[in-house]
Amino acid sequence: MLRSLKQLYGDQLGALDGEIGHVKDLYFDDKNWGVRYVVADTGSWLPGRQVLISPHSFSRLGQAEKILRVDLTRKQIEDAPSIESHLPVSRQYEVEYHKYYGWPCYWQGDGLWGMSDFPLLELPPKPSTDPSGPQPERADAHLCSTRAVNGYHIKASDGTAGHVCDFMMDAQSWAICQLIIKTGHRFSGKEVRIPTSKVERISYEESTVFVSWTMEAVEQNLANSI
């Protein structure tokens, strides 16, 4: 089942012992297109703190649910390693974060989530890998804000095709499968789905997502518009 990320913004977040705020943003890995963290706006509960919640802590992500349940207590979240700044999130912080909760590191292993293709629903007694051990990837994380990328231009191989207006995510794996783009006046303002497998790169300096499709291929996919 695919979920619109735009529709998740503002949804309430509930811990095991009470509410913790609402969804402010989602951070994704622009290499593997996995949503790595939900960014929680905690309001007056933890003012001034940016709270990241891993998909490992969500037991389900139902289409009709407006309260997203987190399998953590408020005390666990409050005592987690604090991060005060916005992106970029350092790999050092992620190591401390995953060590605190006892979750395997998504950057260690061949699966989308490290040793698995799906977030773990039950925590292992100990981390399955040593977060401080040798890293097969670069030292820094490569996370992006979905809110920041929303509105980026879509550059096809032969022209500008529109701009990003939403993301579609697999509710089980938390993998972003498609970009929803608004094509603008050229195609009567239609919305088109572009598979993330067609994305070549994201340029943050140019606020542009480069895709391998041609303008003709975008136009042909209007039949699959939403």
Domain count of the fold of the chain: 2
Q: pLDDT band at 225, cuts 50/70/90?
A: low
Please state whether beta strands 208-211 and 153-156 pair in parallel, antiparallel, or not at all (unpaired): parallel
- Domain match, 17 and 82 both: yes
- The pTM is what? 0.88
Q: What value does the mean pLDDT of the chain take?
A: 87
Q: pLDDT band at 148, cuts 50/70/90?
A: very high
The residue written with tokens 């629903």 in the block is 121
- Report the pLDDT averaged over residues 77-98: 89
> At 76, which helix (H) or strand (E)?
helix 74-79
DSSP-assigned states of every residue in 91-127: HHHHHHHHHHHTPPPTTSSSBTTBS-SS--SS--SS-
Model pLDDT for residues 15-33, shown as the tens digit of each residue? 999 999 999 999 999 999 9
Contact 41, 21 (CB under 8 A): yes
Copy the structure tokens of residue 115: 């040793």
Q: Is 36 in a helix, a strand, or coil?
A: strand
pLDDT for the residue numbered 64: 66
CATH number assigned to the domain comprising residue 172: 2.30.30.240
- Domain match, 54 and 109 both: yes
Copy the structure tokens of residue 31: 């290499």
- Domain match, 100 and 139 both: yes
Distance of CA 19 to the CA centre of its chain: 22
pLDDT for the residue numbered 48: 83
- Report the pLDDT averaged over residues 84-108: 90
Burial class (CB in 10 A: 0-12, 13-18, 19+), 191: middle
Q: Is 24 in a helix, a strand, or coil?
A: strand
Of 39-43, 45-49, 88-92, 219-223, the range with the lowest mean pLDDT is 219-223
Contact 207, 151 (CB under 8 A): yes
Q: Which of 123, 144, 165 is the last residue of a domain?
A: 144
Range of the domain at 84: 2-144
Copy the structure tokens of residue 199: 């994305």
Residues in the chain, how many?
226
Q: Which of 144, 178, 212 is the last residue of a domain?
A: 144
Q: Which of 144, 159, 175 is the last residue of a domain?
A: 144
- Domain match, 194 and 126 both: no
pLDDT for the residue numbered 122: 63
Task: Tell me how crowded residue 153 is: count the other CB atoms within 10 A of its CB.
Answer: 16
Task: Tell me how crowded residue 218 is: count the other CB atoms within 10 A of its CB.
Answer: 23
